[in-house]
């Protein structure tokens, strides 16, 4: 199998939580016509950086490894299980609806990673195909947090 790349799901709630505190100080600057202030351009730059960062999260599966862009790679043989998680820990996931991938004890410095691929079922099927020993416990139910197939 060639490598298979999955992009991260992007949650509207996370984008709002991160950008609103940055946008609030911009409103008075725009009203006063003070858009030539360096602070204005700095805040716009921070928002652009966050958007680019979220759009750049990718997960890659190859025959032997699971790789997260800008994070690292793990051999598929080290993955023990995959479960649903809504943990708010910092992770390479731009959504709160996440998959918790557990690794064998003692693998490097971490025991799990939280990810949120858009094509979740396809990701899980590909992962199971590459390593049938992985225990997958991910219910595919829609809940109250799902609006127009967004997860909030």
Distance CA 83, CA 69 (A): 21
- Whole-model pTM? 0.78
pLDDT at 86: 82
Residues 142 and 146: their CA atoms lie apart, in Å, by 6
What is the fold, at CATH topology level, of the domain defined by 1-152? PH-domain like (2.30.29)
* DSSP sequence for 37-62: SHHHHHHHHHHHHHHHHHHT-EEEE-
The tokens 């195909």 sit on which residue? 129
Nearest by Cα to 18 from 51, 41, 59, 52 = 51
Q: What pLDDT score was predicted for residue 80?
A: 92
Which segments of the chain have a pLDDT < 50?
Answer: none
Helices (H), the chain: 12-23, 26-31, 38-55, 120-130
85 neighbors 33 (Cβ within 8 angstroms)? no
Domain-by-domain residue ranges, the chain? 1-152
> How high is the pLDDT of residue 145?
58
């Amino acid at each position: 199998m060639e490598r298979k790349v999955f992009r991260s799901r992007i949650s509207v709630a996370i984008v709002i939580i991160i950008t609103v505190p940055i946008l609030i100080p911009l409103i008075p600057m725009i009203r006063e016509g003070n858009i030539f202030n360096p602070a204005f351009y700095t805040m716009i730059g921070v928002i652009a950086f966050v958007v680019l960062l979220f759009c750049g999260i990718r997960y890659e599966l190859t025959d032997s490894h699971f790789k997260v862009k800008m994070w690292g790679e793990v051999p598929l043989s080290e993955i023990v299980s995959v479960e649903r998680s809504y943990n708010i820990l910092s992770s390479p996931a731009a959504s709160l609806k996440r998959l918790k991938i557990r690794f064998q004890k003692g693998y490097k410095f971490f025991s799990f990673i939280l990810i949120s691929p858009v094509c979740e079922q396809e990701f899980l099927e590909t992962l199971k195909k590459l390593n049938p020993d992985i225990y997958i416990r991910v219910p595919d139910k829609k809940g109250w947090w799902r609006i127009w197939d967004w997860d909030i």
